[in-house]
Amino acid sequence: MTISTIPSAPISINQLVLLALKRAAVVPIEARLSGANMTAKLEHGRQTLDIMLDGLATEGFMARTMGFYDLPIVAGENTYALPDTVLDVIEDAMYVPPENPDTKHTSGELICQQMDLSTWQTLTTKGSISTRPQLYVAERSGATIKVKFWPVPSESGVMRMKTVRLLGGSGTGTKSPDLQRYWFDALVWMLAHYIAVDSSMSAEKIAMLQATAEQKKAACVRYSFEHTSQQATLAYPSQWSS
């Protein structure tokens, strides 16, 4: 017997919604995407899936949505709005001097450390000027994140920032979900739970779907972080300890 070594093709968003509808027992196993009265059900499922995907941001930063954003900065301006697709800015940034037009292969990069709002608030000379910023703060008070740099740059350049973006929307059902394939089973269970609630299914059915969905989601979240090497360190007091 020949073993299949080629991964299966990603399923579409509509197919994922259909599987969730079946798992919630809203439609029979024999149901198809082209079946009668499916348009409204699929639309509801896609809208619910969008809410679910946005809610995954509260589970922690996923490696799938991490990336770098090159923010052009101009002389004399220290406040910039990031794109609406950026969910958050994390860790320190790197300033790329203007003499480096290629931001991928640069030299002479300088670190720009992230500070909190309290540190920004206590800066006594917010209008200080320098050739490049040394600190930045992210304002997360609205839907659009704004970053403020200090000191105010007197030269242009590019600030490479580590960002987390929002997951892609589910409005186009023929596309695949904006997550790696190991998420698909969890998404089906999660969406089935929401659909069961919306369809007023029995409490036992809803509880079963919710419990399984939480287990599947937790496993995916654990795997979704950056896979980097880890080194354990051991610290213990001695006669030379301070």
Question: Distance between CA atoms of 223 and 73, rounded to whole angstroms?
Answer: 36
Q: How many other CB atoms are found less than 10 A from the CB of residue 110?
A: 14
Residue 214 has a pLDDT of 95
pLDDT tens digits, residue range 61-109? 566 678 899 999 999 999 999 998 888 899 999 999 988 877 778 888 8
The DSSP annotation for 64-76 comes to: GGEEEEEEEE-TT
Whether the predicted pLDDT of 180 surpasses 90: no
Q: Using CB atoms within 10 A of its CB, is residue 150 exposed (0-12), middle (13-18) or buried (19+)?
A: buried
The DSSP annotation for 123-150 comes to: -S-TT-EESS--EEEEE-SSSS-EEEEE
Domain ranges of the chain: 83-165
Which of the four pLDDT bands, split at 50, 70 and 90, describes residue 153?
A: very high
The predicted model scores a pTM of 0.74
